[in-house]
Structure 1
Amino acid sequence: MALKGGLFSCSDPVFWRAVQGLYQDALSAKASKRKELIALDQWYQEELPIAVAKRVKKYLRKAEVVKLMEWKLCWGFLFQRGKFRPRLQQLVATNSNEMVEECTTKAFQLLPDVSGAVQELCKLKAVGPATASAILTAGAPDTAAFMADEVLESIPGLSPVQYTLKHYLLYLDKIQSCAEKLNKADTEKTWTPHGVELCLWAWAVADRLQLPSLQALSLEKTEAGHDGGAEMPRKKQRTE
């Protein structure tokens, strides 16, 4: 890896945007043995946020929370994070439609009080801080970020991973600070906590799998002679 300290140490938004373009490569490489995750991830990253944003008041329906849990469990199992626990998906399905809509509506209304929002969501059966973070990110990517193990492990000071509200708030603070730093250096100013999370995940997975696309980006940055705080020449910028 060319960058000392990993992507989190880099303050160049152009390079971050290039890494952002590696997300699908990293996902496809990791999901080669479980193709259904690609469709689930597309639903979570693209379709669900659009559906939530169209509602007068943001909330998730019971069926959406059940499917979100399926996405999270497949994700964790595929990336070898403990045992597959289908019981959680069965348990989350025992929440009533009314309870799911009431809790998710209130959680989004509590933002930017993330702590309060997570605690509200944890009233639902089978929902802990990590699942709550996924729910909030689906409706408020400009405020929240999914609590992904690969991202947690790529940020200094957050290991070992703990699935607690306190640890999530520490994680989110670092992610939000990173988004602010990138927006200050970027004329487009479109960085969100979720966008930062996706980049860090793509970097971590691509680096672990030694994907040629990441190696090419790292070599390009090294040959350009820039450190983590400098911007790559515009002619080197890749399009998404």
Structure 2
Amino acid sequence: MEFACFDIGVWRETLSSYKIHLESLNKPQLPELDDFYRNQLPLLLHQRNPNPYITKPELSRLMQWKLTRGKWRPRLLDFISSLDETLVESASQMAFQSLPDVPKAVSELTVLKGVGPATASAVLAAYAPDIAPFMSDEAMVAALGSSKDYSLKQYILFTEKLQIKAKELSRDGDSFTPSDVERALWSSSVSNKLLTSSLQSDIKANPKRNSKRRRKE
């Protein structure tokens, strides 16, 4: 699925396959971590109104989710474990209060060692999925063509594009958030990788059959 696709049915179908593709990665802890991140954590954060914040243990589980669903960088977990719990709570409280000013909210969180714009985006997306999407590599590639720049400037550009796409898709009774767009793009990317891997495995397993097929073409 291309980012430019306007077919709401395609986006809905791709989004609905998110869980299937998540499980296809064969990472035993990932489904449980994803359930925590997408379902449990948002409720915990909003229960703390009018001054919501994230706790250090919750931030640690969020980081585990981020690294398990994406690239594993264990040093980031070490950074989180060394943070002062009071600082985590105060920084996240300031960040949530800064919304919908996304740049300010990200800046409030990145004072925490080990928390860059990508991790900050995951924290904000858990609290306000209708405003701030998670800065995943897969969605970055789909929306911007690259995932090499994790700067705040790049995240703001990414956020704006996903907010616009969410508005485009939210019509005729459908409601999309920027976070829905991110998950659909992630799901599509994983699906494409699985298809490519399957085709490569088929070629290796049946070299003669594929050779005959190419000669006929």
Q: What band does the TM-score fall into relative to the shorter chain?
A: 0.7 to 0.9
Of 148, 163, 177, the residue aligned with 2:150 is 163
TM-score w.r.t. structure 2 length? 0.85
Residue 202 in structure 1 maps to residue 187 in structure 2: yes
Aligned twin of 1:45? 38
Q: What is the CA distance between 1:168 and its match in structure 2?
A: 0.7
Structure 1 unmatched ranges of 5 or more: 1-5, 78-83, 212-240
Summarize the Cα distance change of 1:85–1:201 in structure 2 as closer, same or farther, 3 Å threshold. Answer: closer
Conserved? CA contact 1:130–1:163, under 8 Å: yes
Residue 9 in structure 1 maps to residue 4 in structure 2: yes
Q: What is the CA distance between 1:85 and its match in structure 2?
A: 2.8
Q: What is the CA distance between 1:46 and its match in structure 2?
A: 1.1
Between the aligned partners of 2:82 and 2:195, the Cα distance in structure 1 is 42
Of 52, 59, 63, the residue aligned with 1:58 is 52
Residue 22 in structure 1 maps to residue 17 in structure 2: yes
Q: What is the CA distance between 1:160 and its match in structure 2?
A: 5.0
Aligned twin of 2:169? 182
Conserved? CA contact 2:138–2:147, under 8 Å: no
Between the aligned partners of 1:160 and 1:92, the Cα distance in structure 2 is 23
Describe the SS at the equivalent of 1:9. coil
Of 49, 67, 79, the residue aligned with 1:91 is 79
Between the aligned partners of 2:159 and 2:52, the Cα distance in structure 1 is 21
Aligned twin of 1:117? 105
Between the aligned partners of 1:153 and 1:65, the Cα distance in structure 2 is 26
Of 75, 80, 92, the residue aligned with 1:104 is 92
Describe the SS at the equivalent of 2:187. helix
TM-score w.r.t. structure 1 length? 0.77
Aligned twin of 2:201? none
Q: Bigger radius of gyration, 1 or 2?
A: 2
With CA pairs under 8 Å and 6+ residues apart, which has the higher RCO, 1 or 2?
Answer: 1
Aligned twin of 2:29? 36
Q: What is the CA distance between 1:199 and its match in structure 2?
A: 0.7
Higher helix share: 2
CA-to-aligned-CA distance 1:31-86 (integer Å, 9 cap, x gap): x1x21112111111111111112221221011101111111122223xxxxxx432
Describe the SS at the equivalent of 1:99. helix
Describe the SS at the equivalent of 2:148. coil
Structure 2 unmatched ranges of 5 or more: 197-217
Describe the SS at the equivalent of 1:7. coil
RMSD between superposed Cα atoms in Å: 1.5
